Structure 1
Amino acid sequence: MPPSDYTYDDVGATRHGGFCPPGFHLLHVRTRVGEGEKVFRRASEAVMSWEMHRELGVGIDAGADRAAPDVDVTVTLAGMIKAPCRVVYTVEEPRRTGWAYGTLTGHPECGEERFVVDRTGDGTVWLTVSAFSRPAKWYARAGGPATRGLQGVYARRCGRVLQRLCAPLSEG
């Protein structure tokens, strides 16, 4: 994984939550998905297998069926904007599952984004989408605050899609 492939320096920094390099914008969106072990397992599988992203309606062209370190992924937005990324790390623990990808040359943004499902002590299942980014292409820069707003909308949609995928399994 040559560092020169990435469009930013702090590769892997989302692992430590809340980190934001100077000149980047921080995003943190947490959505309650449901409750219970079955919901946790279903949400984890949907995140790790790209299902959540596909259900969002974005194109996913991945080098593997599941997220794993060094897997290249190209996300296609609106059928025409290609966003090449690489999975930087994965997390697979008894109560926490997810991954992060970093932007590669050609991505409209520059930075890192992570998608983590966790099950808290009371059994509640959450999706947390966090990122640091800044525009890399002219059209992302031209969008200014609207571009950042769209990132927030995307992160909230991830949560709603995961809620829908897990709803049949919710306990209580």
Structure 2
Amino acid sequence: MAVLKWDELTYPEVGASAGILPSGYRHVHRRAFLGADVRVFDRAVDALLSWRVHGRAGISVDRPDLRPEPGVDFRLRIGWRGLLVQAPCRIIYTFDQGDRLGFAYGTLPGHPESGEEAFLVHRDGVGRSHFEIRAFSRPDSLAARMAGPLGRFAQDLITSRYLGAMRSLSRVD
């Protein structure tokens, strides 16, 4: 499948999820301990790069075979009781630094929010693996603005589902 083409990203602070999150947005920074078994890190990386974390959290990707690579466009899909929300995104950056691996995507026109979300799996110096989510966003559509606190609740719920999905998928029995 060819890379989908959209207009430019809907926010100017491209790549900011890798550093200090910009003002004027709602910030999310959550982290989960995954385990100390050496296999946990590899399982977590596989779950992240294969989009299984998203799938387990209830978010589908229109290109499930997609390997996160900078510049690649895709759509996230979230559905509740007959309501389907499609969210166009672009991979902003990826990184693989041995014990730190992840990627970030940013919003494209048509996404209900404007901002960026980064997913990171890392292993510390004593072999403990963690999953981290860093994001900044603000409503970009009328529906998202009208959702107000309900929209923020939905974002928090999805973030919690990502963390739970990663804990489940990276577990070593």
TM-score by length of 1: 0.89
Counterpart of 1:143? Answer: 147
Identical counterparts, % of pairs: 37
Map of 1:19 onto structure 2: 21
Q: 1:48 is matched with which residue?
A: 49
Q: How does 1:110-121 map to 2 (within 5 A)?
A: 110-121=114-125
Deviations 1:89-123 (CA, angstroms, capped at 9, x unpaired): 00111111110000000000000000101111222
Aligned positions of 1:118-129 closer than 5 A: 118-129=122-133
Post-superposition Cα deviations, 1:119-152, rounded to whole Å, max 9, x if no partner, equal 1122221111110100011111111122122212
After TM superposition, the runs of 4+ consecutive aligned structure 1 residues lying more than 2 A away are: 62-65
Instruction: For 1:165, give the aligned amino acid.
Output: L
**Secondary structure, aligned partner of 1:106:** coil
Of the structure 1 ranges 125-134 and 141-150, higher mean CA displacement relative to structure 2 is found in 141-150
2:33 corresponds to which residue?
32
In 2, Cα distance between equivalents of 1:129 and 1:102: 14
Aligned positions, number: 166
Where do residues 1-172 of structure 1 align in structure 2 (5 Å cutoff)?
5-16=8-19, 18-20=20-22, 22-62=23-63, 65-78=66-79, 80-167=84-171, 169=172
Alpha-carbon shift at residue 64 of structure 1 (Å): 5.0
Q: Which moved more, 1:73-82 or 1:132-141?
A: 73-82
Shift of 1:36: 2.8
Q: Is the 8 A contact 1:113 1:131 kept in 2?
A: yes
Higher helix share: 1
